[in-house]
Amino acid sequence: MTKDQIDAIFDRAREWPERYREDAARFLLAIDPDRAGVYELSEEEARDIDAALAEVERGEVASDEEVQAFFAQFRR
């Protein structure tokens, strides 16, 4: 991909809805070789993780059978 093609994509991306621009920026930062290995959670991601950990602490987890049934639908 040429620099002109990349510039054209960035120009279009500037007009995207904010949510998509934020996703694109996070993705680009995640693959930036100068920042390799560093990922910064968004506030929403941190809240989702906290909520999931709280569910686990309360014992609100899927059974082995439920997990197997879920993945089985993709193996058909």
Backbone torsions φ then ψ of 2, nearest 5 degrees: -85, 165
More confident residue, 7 or 34: 7
User: What b-and-e string marks burial along 39-70, b requiring 16 or more CB atoms within 10 Å of the CB?
Assistant: eeeeeeeeeeeeeeeeeeeeeeeeeeeeeeee
Domain ranges of the chain: 3-75
pTM above 0.85, yes or no: no
pLDDT of residue 55: 97
Residue 76 has pLDDT above 80, yes or no: no
